[in-house]
Structure 1
């Protein structure tokens, strides 16, 4: 299987919906304040995989939503809402992490400064909630607002575990559930809501999105120690330099000798790093097969994502969503 094929196939399958969604995004990111539109377009127009809005569109279609009954299709507007929410978190994250690259280009905080990035992130959050309010569904507002709060909690929890090698696997999973999986879950669930499907289908799609998001973040954490910068679109080794506690680090540290534990404590907990330390960390991660262990965990979540779709009849779209779950584990960016 072409490992990039499933995402392209899903994009092609939903091309008309995604084109409408991109028009909503372009229209709603405009502002009378020039810097707002300029900075927002820097990140949004740059593209990215658009996976989260694609999931909203796919979930709605899987549940039989008929856009012809709405003058302004709800699934399209809510997909744009999800993308605004996601983009806002990226702007804030890059400031917190002092990132220099995003999607292969200079991050917004580097191009425009931290203050502008934070404030435009706030603008995009506001736009997302405007779209939600216009939709008028209390269920949609509940799902997305809860996801927004959970994302913030996840980022804060990550900050509290940073540089702390005593962090448990369970706590690490709490972090990635909050910072990544919660929005995947919400993206999928609102698709069932707009289709007015039974709660069983809502929960099934939420479960699919949650497990897909967990797998996605596990692979992201592995890629920080395995991909090249051009593939990844951001600086390789950022997690290491920032002292983030991720699955590969936890696996390698758990098996380390006393001497190796002292190394990890110096570079992660004491933040004393030199230019050779990343290479040393990579050696230990490969020695203890920490990346393989991380991908094996991702596979378990991908399998759970596929199993969550069993209540839906066989269809092209269902097959594409299953392929997306499996593709997530083998992607290179």
Structure 2
């Protein structure tokens, strides 16, 4: 490094100009990313309603979408709101919005949708959800009624005539599994909550559940088992218990042996291009709604976050 100790000859004006150029370059990079995301969304091949039908031959008339957006502001800068108009779902659940309720930009509203927001009251820029709905729900509630959980802004519930929609961003057990014990407490309390809802009306439950349930649900199960958040025995058993109480993982119900279908890829190591991923995002139905199920899948081509959107289509 022959020039490592060379004294800088830049003036304050030079530094200011350099900073301006850097800002401009960052803006141009963001614009390029937004254009790329918009192109990816526009070229997604199958936003139209599924041609698949229920087991008794009924066509879909209700489409839902869930997406962990990894921060609403950054997501919007990538022109990802265009996904909402392109997909044309009846209901969207966005997770990890990371924005206080009173800071939601007016641009986040989309014509034709009622919008509802739940944010963390404990930490700014943490967790959070949004619900977009073409039909105005009968009622919308926030949280599961347990204060230590609800302060993190992780659940939003919309009640409709025939069903509940529950959007959730389930706690991550953290690096070195520091929150695994808390995650187990969450799973127990959430199961009690969702069973209570199910006793009143059937439930459509969706979001980033932060668990890869089966070995088929991640690329490298052996190296991650009981070492990495999302693939411990405790987390997987918690999800199994929920399913055993009268609920079904819709994707695995339709595609029990399909491999290498993921909804999350870390930004490190070019994992998305290599499809080294995890299936962490789910649509879960009360079992009595399974006769209404037409399709459940992932929009793996849609960029804009380290997760992709997932969709579920039902004949209601």
TM more than 0.5:
no
TM-score using structure 2 length: 0.32
Larger fraction in helix: 1
Larger fraction in strand: 2
